[in-house]
Structure 1
């Protein structure tokens, strides 16, 4: 009986230690490219490191009238943002990725967008929570590429790079 109690106590300690182990997301790079400078351009697109534990990204898209390279990991989705913001596209994957930016963006209304699209100070800690607790991703290097298409023409691309360790 004494041996069984000791084994049960060890099991409880191990479960506690395992629950304390967590992954960490960190921004590693950010690239913004425009293909039609008459239609759109990036005023800024950067990662800022305030200190060793706090980083954030900021993007301002101006609108004018590691495997063997990165491979699709989970989703390859094409969606109409206007329909999505009107609530006509209820794709759960789109909702998940939209939550990354909805609190830090001015993209919170339906079309038309007659202003710059801004993503301000999206903190790595916020992204870390979504990528390690809400929907855990395996450890590794990731890239999220967003293509901005208007009137059926690809206008710009944003690539977000990060590591989960």
Structure 2
């Protein structure tokens, strides 16, 4: 009898521990094309299906293809009376990363956050439009809260996308970890 009661208590404790794990919630996304003759965003939005399911989608129409030289700068910022640098601010060669995924583990980790929901999964050249299709909060929850221990709060994932040494686009992705 005690065995079943102890098992019940263990199940309840495990459920409560699961319930207090941090959760990622999308709050906003802003996409800006700095050279509309080179590339433009067809769409860039968050969509709420219901109270618990939200996803991100964006599509970039590339007008001057093929693209063979891409660099990305991304920074992770945390909100403390405005957004301040937090932990990462790196620039990397995206073509090299896609050809040799282990060449930059940090950039590889962040690419892995959206790779399964994107067509940005092969090495250069890129001769087609770029998509991130229905990236759900649940996928990011597994990646961010499982691998990294970030403090709770509001964050901004800022990225600048350079082609041939010119900043062509900026994507700002806002989320909270609560």
Give the TM bin, normalised by the shorter chain. Answer: 0.7 to 0.9
Q: Which residue of 2 aligns with 1:94?
A: 107
**Partner of residue 166 from structure 2, selected from 147, 153, 157:** 153
Q: 1:68 aligns with which of 78, 81, 84?
A: 81
In the alignment of these two chains, the number of paired residues is 154
User: CA 1:42 to 1:130, structure 2 compared with 1: closer, same or farther past 3 Å?
Assistant: same
Q: How far does residue 25 in structure 1 lie from its aligned partner after superposition?
A: 0.6
Aligned to 1:59: 58
8 Å contact 1:83–1:89 — kept in the other structure? no
Alignment of 1:6-155 (within 5 A): 16=14, 19-20=17-18, 21-65=20-64, 66-87=79-100, 90-155=103-168
Question: Looking at CA atoms only, which structure, 1 or 2, has the larger radius of gyration?
Answer: 1
Question: TM-score, normalised to structure 1's length?
Answer: 0.87
Change (3 A) 1:22 1:89: closer
CA distance in 1, matches of 2:26, 2:94: 25
When the two chains are superposed, the root-mean-square deviation of aligned CA atoms in Å is 1.9
Q: How far is the alpha carbon of 1:132 from its aligned partner?
A: 1.2
Give the match's secondary structure for 1:74. Answer: strand
Bigger strand fraction: 2
1:126 Cα deviation from its structure 2 partner: 0.6
Offset, 1:18: 7.0
2:4 alignment partner in structure 1: none
Shift of 1:47: 0.1
* Cα deviation digits, residues 30-81 of structure 1 (max 9, x gap): 0000111110100000000000110000000111112131111111010110
Distance 1:28 1:88 in 2: 29
Unaligned 5+ runs, structure 2? 1-9, 65-78
User: Paired residue for 1:9?
Assistant: none
Give the gaps of 5 or more residues in structure 1: 1-11
- What is the TM-score with the length of structure 2 in the denominator? 0.81
